[in-house]
Structure 1
Amino acid sequence: MLLSRLFALIQYPLPHHLLSRLVGGLAECRTPWLKNALVQAFIRQFRVDMDEAAEPDPTAYATFNDFFTRELEEGARPIGEGMVSPADGTLSQFGPIEAGQLLQAKGHRFSAMELLGGDGEAARRFLGGSFATVYLSPSDYHRVHMPVSGTLTEMVYVPGRLFSVNAATTEHVPNLFARNERLICHFDTEHGPMAVVLVGAMIVAAIETVWAGQITPLPRGGVQRIRFDTPVRLEKGEEMGRFKLGSTVVMAFSEPVSFADAIEPGAKVQMGQTLGSV
């Protein structure tokens, strides 16, 4: 407990964005010996399973980021029924959105309005709905997929800090997911509005989407909104984006979700695994 609190506290004065951009530059290095050394060291440290990758040869990737956002072989992640996990990772929290609040960790809640960039109108859509949070560790597959089918209506970039998003910081940094840089993707679905929030974190060099390419980092400024007059339709299980180094996905649904009895906070999940039904 003391060590995790200390780990969280020492992050406050760190230059989050500078560190992340420096690591991002290294992750794009194309010098073969350096790139291969980084990839091999990462595989050993985090015990990455390359057998399920579409390209299992670690040296075949042009950059560390290409390796990190590697595609899986076809059929590696079957898509289940109902609402499915958008990513491999840990299902850190899930449940109802109560009085406009989402659970971050035991004793810590944060508001849907803050998560959604201060947009009260958007937050009201999710009153009485449900949420689920998936944390992607370094060893996980880092592409993010659709939990249900939907049509993109708006994308919102919210600047912020880049605290780490592991268990220590979620327990000790209040409003963590509403403080960090994030990309909010609003969708219309057959179950009503859905928001998929891609949360940045320490040394996350970039967030990409399939419809607009790399989004973060953006120049300093306020909240930036992009609406889509031409519909962007994505089916359940289809890729929507990716993290260049690990982070967290927060999903919000306007309707209550009946979560599967077999899952519980802290459970390991895989992309496409059934989490419940809306």
Structure 2
Amino acid sequence: MTVSRHPVIVGVDGSPAAFGAVRWAADEAVRLGRPLRIIHALEMHGPYEEIADEHSLAIDAATEIRAWQPGLHVTTATWYGEPARVLVDQSRTAGLIVVGSRGSGGFRSLLVGSVGVHLAAHAHCPVLVVHHAERWAGPESPLPRREPIVVAVDGSADAALGLSLGFAEAANRAVALHAIRTWHEPEHRWSRSPGPAGLAAATERELLAELEPWCSKYPGVTVVPRVEHCPSVPVMLDAARDALMFVIGARGRGGFEGVRLGAVARQVLEHAQVPVLVARRG
């Protein structure tokens, strides 16, 4: 296998969710042909620097992963520093960064921790946030294999990156890809509109046009286009309920210039029940 130099990076903190995220990260690393790097950040006073791996947490995780995936190249690192800051910095040289949705600490009412949200907004590569990752913490819990990948499509540059990631994941896993695009009536009564049927048809044409080059590149992927007249977030959360993974661009069309994580992506990230892959550019 040819191994890329850009690793899959995963953050650990000792929680069951973190080790579930490590198993997802290892699985992704094998599929992508990348090495795996396990990082533990210590929130302690001191310089922002890498330290000797005296703390065994990352090493212990690596030992278990090597036993599970013996052909995978695994390295570890322990840093002084705030976890979100450490992982954002490390993402500069990563192909993918993975975290559990909520590690040790935090409020139980929050479905996604602050580290995951911060990475989704600021990382320099795609971010996989594994919701309820404690479900896969033990080797007796197989990772999902047959459910479809669901991807949000809205014509934005980040959505195009999401399509690239979504098709690659679906092809790699030999599962279907469900592509969702929503439409709604103009906000102003005086706006010219072709009517509901016309808007739905136009949205479907746009979706199929966006999918066409990727269908040509990945002819083996079964693609299910889905056009919905509904607010985006409820539709996406409903579609993601039985998915293997939900893929969404960090920013959609519209919004304020300079915003690094769009409102729709943030709501999906905060409330989805399945792993969410946020498409981010460097």
Query: Which TM-score applies when normalising by structure 2?
Result: 0.26
* TM-score of the superposed pair, with normalisation by structure 1: 0.26
- Structure with the greater relative contact order (CA < 8 A, sep ≥ 6): 1 or 2? 1
Bigger helix fraction: 2
Structure of greater Rg? 2
